[in-house]
Structure 1
Amino acid sequence: MASHISDANEAIQASGESTFEKAKKKAQEQIDHLFNVSLDIAVTGETGAGKSSFINAFRGEENAATGVRETTTEPTPYQHPKLPNVKLWDLPGIGSPNFKAKTYVKKMDFKKYDFFLIISATRFKENDLMLAEEIQKAKKKFYFIRSKIDIDIRAEEEKKTFNREETLSEIREDCQRNLKDLGNPPVFLISSRNLSEFDFEELVSTLTSELPEHKQFALLQSAPVTSVAMLEEKVVMFKKVIWAAAILSGGIAAVPVPGLSFACDTAMVMSFFTRCYHTFSLDDRSLEKLSERVNKPELKSLKKAPLLKELAEASVLRMGGSAVGEFLCSLVPVAGNVAAGVISFSMTRGLLENGLSVLADEGRKVLREAGLE
C-alpha cells in the first residue's frame, strides 16, 4: 500500500497541484484536451500554389480538389479522417478574379482559424505580403510554406553544378528576401508528394512550440507520422497525460457503486489505446497509404488491428481482477475509499504505460520497415 500511495503522490506532483481534488480537476482538463479540443487550420495562397495538395498530404486523404485553375470558390473545411475535431480549411486563392487582395480579408472569417499557412509555389508576392499583414492585424499567427520543392530539385539536378543543399539554401533565401518587410519570418520548404523530406517536421515542431498546450495535443495527433523522430514526439505527448487518466480512474474507484470503476476504467483505457493506435498510423488505411508512398507493397500485410484487440483483452482481464478489491475497499468508510482510489490509480497507470510502450514499439518497427528512421 505504501508504494501505491507514493505513486499517487507522485501523480499529484506531476499535475503541479497541491491536493488530489485540484489534481483531479486539472486531470479532467487534460483528458478533455486530448480527446475533444478543436483545431482549425487555414491554408491559403495564390491560385495553383498547392494548397489542396498540402491538405490532402496532411490528412492522408485525397478529397481536396486540385488543379492549375482556381478550384475553391469559398472556404471549404476538410475534416481529419481520424480526428473529427481537427479541420483544414482550403481558402480561395488570393489574387484570383473572384478574390482580389483588397476584399479578400472581408470575405474570410479570420477569427474562426487558429493559424494560417500561406503557400507559394514560387517566390512570395505582393498578395501574400498583404495577406500576412492583415492576418497580423487580426492578431493571428501565420507561417510561410514554399511548396513543390521536389519539382525544383528535379529541374536543378540536370545541371552539372548541382548541389542539393546550395539549391535549397538559394530557394529559401530568395523567398526571405521578398519577406524582409515582415521581419524575415522563417520559410518552410515542403513537398506535398513526400512530407518526409525537407522542412515538414520543422514546421510541425515550430507550430507545436507556439500553440497553446491544448491545441498542441490536437496538432500532434493529427500530423502524419513521417519519421521515428515524429513518432517519438507523439509518444512523449501521450506519456504526459497518463497521470491524468490514472487520477481520474482513482477518483471514480472511490465511489462505492458496483461495476462503475471497471466500466469507466475500461472505457478510458480503450479510448487511450485506440487514440495511440491511430495517431501512430498503425491502422490498415494508414499502412496502405505508407506502402504506396514508399513503394513497399509488403507493408500492406502488417496488420496491427489484432494487436489492439490483444491489448484490450489483456487489459480487461487485469482490470477485472482488481475491480473486486477496489469495491471491497470502497465499502469501508473514508479509508476504504482512499484505498480503492489508490488501487485503481496504480492499475490504470500501469496498463496505460504498458500499452503505450507496446504500440510505440510497433510504430517504430513499421517506420524501420518503411525506411523512415
Structure 2
Amino acid sequence: MATLEDYCVITQKDLEDIKDSISTQDLPTAINTIKEYLKKQDLVELNIGVTGESGSGKSTFVNAFRGLGDEEEGSAKTGVVETTTEPEVYLHPKYKNVKVWDLPGIGTQSFKADEYLELVQFERYDFFIIIASDRFRECHTQLAKEIIRMRKTFYFVRSKTDLSIEAEKRKKNFDLKKTLDIIRKDCENGLRKIGIEDPIVFLTSGWELEKYDLNALQERMEKELPQHKRRVLMLALPNITLEINEKKKKALEENIEKVAFLSACLAAVPIPGLSIYVNLAIIAV
C-alpha cells in the first residue's frame, strides 16, 4: 500500500504514468491522480520541539521561526521567568501543517532527561532545538544523549548572540567573524567537556534571525529530514535571507514545472477544450 511519503514527491515515473493515462484518454484517473499528489503534499506535518533552560529565548525562537514578533497575535508568551509549564503548540501562520512546540524549561535540580521526554511525548517531534543563551550545561547534554538513545535528531542553538556581539563591540580590535568563531568554539568545547563528542553549535538571535548561523542551521535540518518533509520545512522558514528565498522559489517551481509538463501532454490530446478543462481542475485543488 502506498504511504503518505510515496505521494509527496512526484517522480519522473509518476509523470510518465499520468501522461499515459492522458494519452489513452483515461482523463478522470489522470486528473484525480494529479490532484491527489498536490493535496497530499499539503498534508505532510512537521513537528519541531524547542527546549532549553528558563530565560534562554525558547519562546522568542518559536516566534521568530514562524516570522512573528513576541507581541503579535498568535505569538508564544515570553518573559524573564519560565512561562511554559507544559508543551504548547504554535501553528505556522501560513502553513498550518507546520507545528512549533514551546516545551517546558529544563535545568531544575530534579531534572531527568528520560522523564522529561516522556512528559513532552518525544515521539511526535521530527527534531528538537536545544537552546542555551550562554554556555551549555549538564542538563542540555543529558537531554541530547537521551534524544540520541531514542533515535531522534536535535540541534544545539546558542541564542542571544546579538547581545554578546554588542558587548564585544566595545573592545578596540573588534572583529565580527573572529568573535563569532570564539563564541561558537567556546560552546563546542564546553559541550565536549561534559560528554558530547564532535558537537555542532549554531549561533542565532531571536531579534535578528537572519544573521549568524540561520542558513547553516537550515541546511543541516534540510539535509537530515526525510525527503517528503524538506519541502515543508523550506516553505515554512521566514523570508529573511537570500539563500532561503532562492530555495523556496526552487521548491515552488518544481510543482509548476510538473503541472506545466502535464499541461503540454494535454495539449497533444485532440479533444477541443480538454487542456483548459483539466488545468482548471488542477488549479482548483
TM range (shorter): 0.7 to 0.9
- The answer to whether residue 194 in structure 2 is matched with residue 198 in structure 1 is no
Q: Select the residue among 245, 254, 258 that pairs with 1:240.
A: 254
- Give 1:260 shift: 8.3
- Matched-pair contact (CA < 8 Å) for 1:44–1:51: yes
The answer to whether the aligner puts 1:189 opposite 2:178 as a matched pair is no
CA contact (8 A) 2:64 2:207 kept: yes
CA distance in 1, matches of 2:169, 2:83: 31
2:77 aligned with 1:65:
yes
Q: Is the 8 A contact 2:113 2:146 kept in 1?
A: no
Asked whether the equivalents of residues 225 and 231 of structure 1 are also in contact (C-alpha less than 8 Å), the reply is yes
Superposition map of 1:1-373 within 5 A: 15-17=11-13, 20-21=16-17, 31-32=38-39, 34-61=41-68, 62=70, 63-96=75-108, 100-101=112-113, 103-180=115-192, 181-246=195-260, 262=276, 265-266=279-280, 268-269=282-283
C-alpha deviations, 1:50-77, integer Å up to 9, x for none?
A: 0100111111224100111110011100
CA distance in 2, matches of 1:26, 1:261: 16
CA separation of 1:55 and 1:255: change in aligned 2, threshold 3 A: farther
8 A Cα contact 1:27 1:247, kept in partner:
no
Compared with structure 1, are the counterparts of its residues 99 and 245 closer, same or farther at alpha carbon in structure 2 (3 Å cutoff)?
Answer: farther
Task: Calculate percent identity across the aligned residue pairs.
Answer: 43
Name the CA distance, whole Å, in 2 between partners of 1:218 and 1:177: 33
Q: Is the 8 A contact 2:147 2:154 kept in 1?
A: yes
- Give the Cα–Cα distance (whole angstroms) in 1 for the partners of residues 188 and 91 of structure 2: 32
Do the aligned partners of residues 185 and 270 (structure 1) sit closer, same or farther apart at CA in structure 2, a change above 3 Å counting?
farther
| CA deviation vs aligned residue, 1:232-286 (integer Å, no higher than 9, x gap) | 1111112223343346667889999998864652364476xxxxxxxxxxxxxxx
Deviations 1:163-210 (A, max 9, x none): 222211111011101222322221110011111110111111111111
- Secondary structure of the residue that 1:139 maps to in structure 2? coil
Distance 2:64 2:178 in 1: 26
C-alpha displacement at 1:149, in angstroms?
Answer: 0.3
1:257 & 1:47 partners in 2: Cα distance?
A: 65
Structure 1 residues 251, 97: closer, same or farther in 2, change over 3 A?
farther
More helix per residue: 1 or 2?
1
Write the letter of the residue equivalent to 1:192: G
TM-score (norm 2): 0.79
Equivalents in 1 of 2:126, 2:273: separation in Å? Answer: 41
Deviation at 1:222, TM superposition (A): 0.3
Q: Partner letter of residue 58 of structure 1?
A: F
Aligned length, in residue pairs = 258
Instruction: Describe the shift of the 1:33–1:147 C-alpha distance in structure 2 as closer, same or farther (beyond 3 A).
Output: farther
Q: In 2, Cα distance between the equivalents of 1:213 and 1:29?
A: 18
Q: Structure 2 regions of 5+ residues with no counterpart?
A: 1-9, 20-29
Secondary structure (helix, strand or coil) at the match of 2:42 reads helix
Mapped partners of 2:232, 2:171: distance in 1: 43
* Post-superposition offset of 1:17: 2.1
After superposition, what is the alpha-carbon deviation per residue over 1:7-54, rounded to whole angstroms, capped at 9, x for unaligned?
Answer: xxxxxxx93428832777996675345422110001011111101001
TM-aligned CA distance change 1:111 to 1:102, over 3 Å: closer
Asked whether the 8 Å contact 2:114–2:146 carries over to 1, the reply is: no
Higher relative contact order (CA 8 A, sep 6+): 2
Letter in 1 for 2:101: W
Q: Structure 1 residues 29, 251: CA separation in 2 closer, same or farther (over 3 Å shift)?
A: farther
TM-score normalised by structure 1 residue count: 0.62
Task: From the superposition, tell whether residues 28 and 177 of structure 1 become closer, same or farther in structure 2 (CA, over 3 Å).
Answer: farther
Instruction: Give me the whole-angstrom Cα distance separating, in 2, the residues matched to 1:69 and 1:100.
Output: 20
Q: Distance in 2 between matches of 1:60 and 1:239?
A: 22
Shift of 1:229: 2.1
Cα pair distance change 1:224/1:270, threshold 3 Å? farther
Which stretches in structure 1 are left out of the alignment for 5+ residues? 1-13, 272-373
AA aligned to 1:65 is: K
Return the index of the structure with the highest Cα Rg.
1
Rate the CA distance shift 1:172–1:30 in 2: closer, same or farther, 3 A.
farther
